[in-house]
Amino acid sequence: MKLHLLQAALLVLIALFWAGSASGGAMDPVHFDSDAKAAQYRTLLHELRCTVCQNQSLADSNADLASDLRRQVFELVDDGATNAQVIDYMVARYGDFVLYRPPLRPSTYVLWLGPFGLLILGIFIWYQVSRGTEVREPQLTTSPEGRQRAGRLLRGEES
C-alpha cells in the first residue's frame, strides 16, 4: 500500500515538474487596429524562424531575441508593410536562415539537395552491402588422403 502511495506521489511530482518546464508560448500581447493586420502578423510569425532557437518559429520561441523580432515585425505590420517587405527586411538583417522555407539559390543548395544526396548515398551503400552478402554453399576442396583420414577419424580408427 505504501509503495502505491509513493509511486502516485512521485508521478504527481514528475507531472508538476514537467508541466512547469513546458513552454507556454507566452507572447507579448499585441493589438492591431484591424483583424487583417493581426492575421498578417500571425502568418509572418509562423514563416520566420527564431535565429537562436533554430527549430522554432518566432511564434513558438520564448527567447529574448525572438521577443525583439516579434516587436520589430509588429512595428512593420502596424506601419503598413506587406508580407514581402517584412520578409525582405528580416532577410537583409539575418540572412536566409531567418526563413523557414529559404529560396533555392547556390548558397542553399546543400540545404535543399542534401537530404536527397544522403538518400541516394544510403541506397547505394545498402545495394553494395546486400549484393556482397549472398549465401553460398561452402565448397570443400580436400584431397583424397584428407577424406580417407577423416573417415578413419569418424570410425575411431585414428586418434
Q: What 3-state class would DSSP assign to 151?
A: helix
- Residues 6 or more apart in contact with residue 30 via CB below 8 angstroms: 38, 41, 70, 74
- Alpha carbon separation from 91 to 86, 98, 152, 156 (Å, rounded): 9, 6, 85, 86
Q: Which domain does 55 fall in, by range?
A: 25-128
Q: What is the pTM of this model?
A: 0.55
Q: ∠54-59-65 over CA atoms, to 5°? A: 55
Residue 81 within a domain:
yes
The CATH number of whichever domain residue 38 belongs to comes to 1.10.8.640
Asked whether the predicted pLDDT for residue 24 surpasses 50, the reply is no
What is the mean predicted confidence (pLDDT) over 26-44? 83
* pLDDT band at residue 72 under the 50/70/90 scheme: very high
What is the mean predicted confidence (pLDDT) over 27-44? 84
Residue 90 within a domain:
yes
Q: What 3-state class would DSSP assign to 44?
A: helix
- The answer to whether the CB of 59 falls within 8 A of the CB of 42 is yes
